[in-house]
Amino acid sequence: MHGSGLIRDLLHLSLYLVTIVIWMHLWLICVFNAQGPLKRFFGANALIICALGVPALAALLFGCAYGIFGREGIVGSLIVVGLGFPTVTLVFLRRQARRAD
């Protein structure tokens, strides 16, 4: 994969898988718990959006990170964008849900 040894390759693969799981969790929360006018749209199409949107977003994220940072900086960029952004968004959504209760 990167030519740096088996352990480092496995760590990169686990990082990619964790990124996919966190983005999927964020999508499921946002799509299946939509409120207001988005609820009508997401209600009927929620499974299709999750099935097509998550892989498309992952491919777009990986492609953009590869194009911007190149092969050497892709792991660092995926940590920031792939793990940082959805984690911050989930924390924000959790705070908003607590305020609504």
DSSP codes, 15-52: HHHHHHHHHHHHHHHHHHT--THHHHHHHHHHHHHHHH
pLDDT, residue 52, reads 80
Give the residue-averaged pLDDT of 36-47: 71
Give the residue-averaged pLDDT of 7-24: 78
pLDDT, residue 88, reads 84
pLDDT, residue 2, reads 52
Q: What is the pTM of this model?
A: 0.51
State the average pLDDT for the chain. Answer: 76
Write down the domain spans for the chain.
6-100
pLDDT, residue 95, reads 85
